[in-house]
Structures are given as structure tokens and as C-alpha cells.
Amino acid sequence: SILMQRRLFLYNFRNLRKAKGRRETYLCYVVKRRDSATSCSLDFGYLRNQMGCHVEVLFLRYISAWDLDPGRCYRITWFTSWSPCYDCAQHIASFLRSYPNLTLRIFMARLYFCEDRKAEPEGLRRLHKAGAQIAIMTFKDFFYCWNTFVANREQTFRGWEGLHENSVHLARKLRRILLPLYEVDDLQDAFKILGL
């Protein structure tokens, strides 16, 4: 099916601060071609990671096969259950450099951090520097996904307890990650001076 089952969406996209047991990454996407002031939807759907291949890489392979017209502008929007790992962020950044006529917006339900490497924040910074617009999903984004990618049987999306608070918490965390490093050092120094 082109639409995700409700239980899959609700389980995998729930923006919990600690999402134990959620090992799969789901990626909902919309691809549009921009023609002057208007845009034309070309495709939408969802993917999940497959054995040995992360979902971001699967999508990049999928879109690379399209043979995009370099004379046209494209916009891709992703809604992902996890932010990209360091390696995927590198692949995406490289892809964006190869396609200057393409813009990518990534809305993430949760931030992924591999405990043993701690490289993911750097990957997100590089991805942002490569031109990707990255943000944490808010109620509006979950609502949009529910109505666009989920077989919801015409049921209205009802947010879960803590959705807004978790979105705000994760957005602040992402904002700190994306701050230029000299600003982070300035903030750390300010906190030390204040005794925090």
C-alpha cells in the first residue's frame, strides 16, 4: 500500500525523548517540481530502512534513478522518524552538492545519537551547511503526515501526551547543535560565569 498503517505511524513517529525498541527509521516524502511561482507534485510515499541499508540511502538511490532535469528546480520534503546518522548525513550532503537545483527539507520526529560514536551532531551540522533545511516535527507536521501518508480511515489526528513539550525540547536541542561552534563556546562560558 502507498499509505502507512496507523499503528506503524503512531508507534514509529511518536516523539518520545527516549524511544527504546524503535530500531527502524521511516521516511515519508513529497517530491515537487517548481515551475516559476507554481509547483507540481511528482511523487509521494514512504519508505523504511531495509536490511543493511538506511532509509535515507534508499531514497537517494530512488531519486537518482529519476534522471532529474538540471534545468528545473525540485523540492523534496522528508518527514523522518529519526534524524540521519552521521554516515547518512554525509551521503545526503554529497548528494545535495551534486544537485544544486534541488532543495531538501527534513522534518524529524526524534534526534538519533549513536552512543558509542557521538558523531551525529557533527553530521547534522554538515548536512545543514550543505543546504538542507532541518527541523523537528511539530503538531502541524504530524497532522500533515497523518492526513497525507497514513491510512487513517478518516479519523482525525489526535496528538499524544507530551507531543508539544517533546517537540519544543528537541527543537531546542537541535538549535544548540546547529549553532556555530564559537557561539556554543560563548554560551558554555556564560553558563560557567553564572555558575550553571
Which active-site residues does the annotation give?
56
C-alpha triplet 58, 63, 67: angle, nearest 5°: 140
Q: How many C-beta atoms surround the C-beta of residue 130 within 10 A? A: 16
Q: Are 142 and 152 in contact (CB under 8 A)?
A: no
Angstrom CA distances, 32 to 11, 29, 42, 46, 158, stand at 28, 10, 5, 15, 28
Which of these, 82, 22, 76, 95, lies nearest to 55 by C-alpha position? Answer: 82
Number of H helices, E strands in the chain: 7, 7
Q: For residues 137 and 195, what is the distance between their CA atoms, to the nearest angstrom?
A: 33
In whole angstroms, give the CA distance from residue 114 to residue 105: 23
Sign, Cα dihedral of 136, 140, 146, 152? positive
